[in-house]
Amino acid sequence: MILSLLLYACKPPVKSNTPKPDSIALENIDLYPQYPSCPDYFEKDRQLKCLMLKINNFIAYHLNEQYQKQFTGLKDTLWVKFDIDTLGQIHYINIIHYKDRLQDHIYDTIFKKITYKMPKVKPAIYRDHPVNFEFKIPIINSNR
């Protein structure tokens, strides 16, 4: 009997026939990523609002502290895309802006530097597994 229990315990786990999708619709996420200073909200909309607010505040602080001069000429909105991986690391993807290619290169460099400083978060959860989470944030120059 002990031998049969050991054999059962050594069996590889049964894989699910349901494939884990590469990208999941926002409304299907079970838990959104959790920023370190966000409370454990049980409502999904509050989870997402806290995450976006904290990331917006982090970006605004660093833009105002270090890069204010580079953004004085910004006359419209930049959309910055990020990804939070399954380990909770935030990665910069790109800028969605087509006005000035030279400035876009400068903005691109700035957001790579800011993203490197962002804290690790708890990853998004879908069906009890961490998944990648892609999102975008508008950056608006308030000094226009």
Contacts of 44 (CB under 8 A, 6+ apart): 29, 31, 32
Q: What is the pLDDT of residues 107-121, one digit of tens each?
A: 888 999 999 999 999
Domain coordinates of the chain in residue numbers?
Answer: 25-140
What share of residues in the chain are helix, strand, coil (percent, to 5)?
A: 40, 20, 40
Residue 139: pLDDT above 50? yes
Alpha-carbon distances of 59 from 9, 26, 70, 86, rounded to whole Å: 48, 22, 14, 22
Residue 54 is encoded by which pair of tokens?
A: 């904290």
d(CA 107, CA 76): 13
What is the structure's pLDDT at 85? 95
What is the structure's pLDDT at 42? 80
Q: At what angle do helices 101-117 and 44-66 cross, to 10 degrees?
A: 110
pTM over 0.85: no
What is the structure's pLDDT at 4? 37
Residue 39 is encoded by which pair of tokens?
A: 């409370």
What is the structure's pLDDT at 143? 53
Please give the full DSSP string across 40-57, using - where no structure is assigned.
--SSHHHHHHHHHHHHHH
The larger pLDDT score, comparing residue 137 to residue 2, is at 137
Q: What is the pLDDT of residues 42-94, one digit of tens each?
A: 888 899 999 999 999 999 899 888 888 887 777 778 889 999 999 999 999 98
Contact present, 81 and 136 (Cβ < 8 Å):
yes
